[in-house]
Amino acid sequence: MPESKVRKEAAEKKKLAKRASDAEHKADLQRHVVAPGSRRWVPLTFITLGLLGVSWLVVYYVAGYMIPFMSTLGGWNIGIGMGLMAAAFAVSTLWK
């Protein structure tokens, strides 16, 4: 049985409204998405923080008692070294 003209027009209006709302949604998403910039700084920062953390721990264990500010910090030196290495791994997640 053929559909009535009224039903066809209503269906077309629904399709047009859906397309318009989809287009608005897509435009909103495009406005809020920021294209990633250059990530060339990530490997250098990752390596620098990692080496700095390892170096901090090595210096603390080898000569920490001779360096005044390190001997004052005491056990916090381990936290600083581990924190620097953790920061390096956090930065490494940004690498693409």
pLDDT digits (tens, 9 = 90+) for 60-76: 999 988 999 999 999 99
- Contact, 6 vs 59, CB < 8 A? no
pLDDT digits (tens, 9 = 90+) for 6-62: 677 777 878 777 777 777 767 666 666 555 678 889 999 999 999 999 999 999 999
pTM: 0.60
Cα separation of 28 and 23, whole Å?
Answer: 9
Tell me the domain boundaries of the chain.
1-33, 41-92
